[in-house]
Structure 1
């Protein structure tokens, strides 16, 4: 929910703080850049203090920096505090998926679907709440994020069992070493280009829409709702019938086409609204299937694979918002969507060329006595051929 709360207020922030779209887009760039770089140290931290303490540390940082952002009076200060927020985000999200997979009683695939379902519902509800709070004041969503993270902090503290530090201490170089495996590198680079399209849409679309925070919130609520449905139901169905790689390739092609239509008809608010909402389906499919593929793309610990993948993909999330804002200011309002469409097509090319590297690998779970049954399930969901 915290991710989506801020999106409806991008234009109100620009209007009230006399900022350009590219300046406001730095809220995403600073956030994603710090998140990506910090991913390299999340494994180092969690392996030494345990997953629960890492999650709690991340939540505390988000609470502090989101509240500071809401108290700021300049775009520069908000951008800076969003960077600190990104550090907390990295500590939380890199650890959350691995923790859920380890704690779940079902298969790895079921745990990932559960994770994506929660993520999808949060992404759907966030803009709705953010739009309502933003209609009162642009500061409201920032304080709303702080309040939500307090709830998450209490829930994690009381309901997540203690997680001791790992016997195997992770090195800061481990994510780089993991990227030497062609399968993981292929998925990571694909996700980099896919995220460029995703964040070009997320960061720039509110400007040509030129609607109130509440209206933008409802639009992105529809987007997030379709994302959640596609994550939980459509992605597994496509995987069973067509396989992981063909399903991801198809979703990426359709997402690129969707962005191209939005580029052609940027002057039409109806086309933009429909294009944003429809994009949720393609993003939901990719989020679930790519995340699942990452967990089986290299014979390394899951937190290391997640950190390596996230470091690369968030680079796209850092570049795209600012580039989209600059293109919108200096070229045309159509250009950011063309950039997104082209980037996603590059992701299609990377995945297609590297499809044969995506073979099943056995994870190293950090414990010598990992049950053979879990390994078999993991191999089954990671078999991408």
Structure 2
């Protein structure tokens, strides 16, 4: 299947990819509310020790993805998208079973590492879309993937919270069931999108290495501006998992329930923007201007968050920040238009490595800044400092997009790109 495939077949394939990403995100989201508590249970109920190990889990997950994402991309370029996605779903399902049965913290940690290795569906889904969707329609399709993420992170944590209240192990069984159901669904429904004639001639070990995948980007210097935007935007996005819950409590006295409601609203707004706004805005403005507008809205939203002195002022920033969701699909559409079809998987793997690299360092920056500016040594108490740092990062991303993604830097889609 490629971009010239019949519209009905292409629509069915995109529907599967949407469902695949949605189910995987729900599966990951289901364990979010209970994983720290299960860790706490293994360390004897000590909250400070549990917080340390939860941070170690997050660090290790991002580190392993930094190494594994380029391999997944190279595998999908060589052997096709379908087997990589199916193995990802099967591996995740079996891994969640392992985590549900884990008798100790060490086994739970092993399970988390395996989940980082097997979570290939997100990277490969981006390459799949580049295979089957014409260049001018990719931003809208990537918007649908963004909607799947938003919807998944609404449903997953809510379901996980309810199930976790019954038993801390139950959400892992739920996640395993979803991932294995996804595998069976794909086994019978998912068509291959990457035909043999477009595949790499051999598995590319050079670009499958973590820094090899990043170095591969040097072969396409005209997309460096877009790569910088992807990295900076994802670095900024880590402010949410790094500090939001603690920030909400310190700044407004919001506890878990109120923080969960706010995050759910963020997810709902993200779905609305990705489904109803992205396609229209890209059509009206073009990918480049839509990307810059999205980055500008994200910057403004983070400034509101960082300076909001009350909860209702913080909430005013939500619809502004929600328009940031336009930037990611527009950026990804531009990237896919700039590289040949036979390297789409490796390019997506390289970008995923950069995102993982951001995930290794971002929590330390944001959590460290937050802790300092609410501590006794702070020159001024500023709980929202992490959001202001994120605003600076997005502001720099917007400047890079303005300076390095114009017609003089980008070029028409190369030969072989669908």
TM-score range, shorter chain: 0.7 to 0.9
- Aligned with residue 323 of structure 1, among 365, 370, 378: 365
Q: 1:363 to 1:81 in 2, by over 3 A?
A: farther
Map of 1:296 onto structure 2? 337
Question: Which residue pairs with 1:382 in the alignment?
Answer: none
Give me the whole-angstrom Cα distance separating, in 2, the residues matched to 1:139 and 1:279. Answer: 38
| 1:62 positional shift | 2.0
Deviation string, structure 1 residues 160-215 (Cα, Å, up to 9, x no partner): 13678646334133443344323332212211111122111133212233456555
Residues 171-190 of structure 1: matches in 2 within 5 Å?
Answer: 171-174=204-207, 175=213, 176-190=215-229
Superposed displacement of residue 85, structure 1: 1.2
The answer to whether the 8 Å contact 2:74/2:349 transfers is no
Report the counterpart of residue 93 of structure 1 in structure 2: 122
1:2 matched to 2:27? The reply is: yes
Match of 2:236 among 178, 194, 197: 197
Confirm or deny that 1:260 pairs with 2:303: yes
- Deviation of residue 154 (structure 1)? 1.5
Q: 2:388 aligns with which of 338, 353, 373?
A: 338
| 2:12 alignment counterpart | none
In structure 2, the CA distance between the partners of 1:199 and 1:79, relative to structure 1 (3 Å rule), is farther
Question: Which has the higher mean CA deviation after the structures are superposed, 285-294 or 142-151?
Answer: 142-151
Deviations 1:244-287 (A, max 9, x none): 2222222212212222222223x744445554x43762342122
CA distance in 2, matches of 1:339, 1:22: 23
Deviation of the 1:95 alpha carbon: 1.5
What do the CA deviations read for 1:289-325 (whole angstroms, capped 9, x no partner)?
1221221133353212212222223322332123322
Distance in 2 (alpha carbons) for counterparts of 1:23 and 1:208: 20
State the Cα RMSD in Å.
3.3
Q: 1:29 aligns with which of 59, 70, 73?
A: 59
Q: 1:72 to 1:228 in 2, by over 3 A?
A: same
In the alignment, which of 231, 255, 266 is matched to residue 223 of structure 1?
266
Structure 1, unaligned stretches of length 5 or more?
Answer: 366-374, 376-385
| Residue aligning to 1:312 | 354
Larger Rg: 2
Preserved contact between residue 300 and residue 320 of structure 2 (Cα < 8 Å): no
Residues 334-383 of structure 1: CA distance to partner in whole angstroms, max 9, x if unpaired? 33223222222222232222123233322635xxxxxxxxx4xxxxxxxx
Q: TM-score, normalised by structure 1?
A: 0.80
More displaced 10-residue stretch of structure 1: 28-37 or 196-205: 28-37
- The structural deviation recorded for 1:37 is 2.4
Find the residue that maps to 2:205 and give its secondary structure.
coil
Relative to structure 2, which stretch is displaced further, 341-350 or 323-332?
Answer: 323-332
Alpha-carbon separation, structure 2, partners of 1:107 and 1:115 = 16
Please give the residue correspondences for 1:121-132 in structure 2 after superposition, counting only pairs within 5 Å.
121-132=151-162
Give 1:102's aligned residue: 131
Equivalent residues of 2:269, 2:322 under 8 A apart: yes
What is the count of residue pairs matched by the alignment?
363
Q: TM-score, normalised by structure 2?
A: 0.74
The alpha carbon displacement at 1:107 in A equals 6.9
- Preserved CA contact (<8 Å) 1:128 1:218: no
Match of 2:400 in 1: 350
Unaligned 5+ segments in structure 2 are: 1-25, 208-212, 375-382
Secondary structure in 1 aligned to 2:238?
A: helix
2-side partners of 1:274 and 1:79: how far apart? Answer: 39
| CA distance in 2 between partners of 1:214 and 1:360 (Å) | 49
Determine whether 1:41 maps to 2:82: no
After superposition, the C-alpha distances for 1:101-146 in whole angstroms (9 at most, x for unaligned) are: 4356997525434433433332332233233334445554444322
Assess if the C-alpha contact under 8 Å between 1:22 and 1:326 holds in 2. Answer: no
Aligned twin of 2:13: none
Native 8 Å contact 1:302 1:364 kept in 2:
no
C-alpha distance in 1, partners of 2:174/2:257? 15
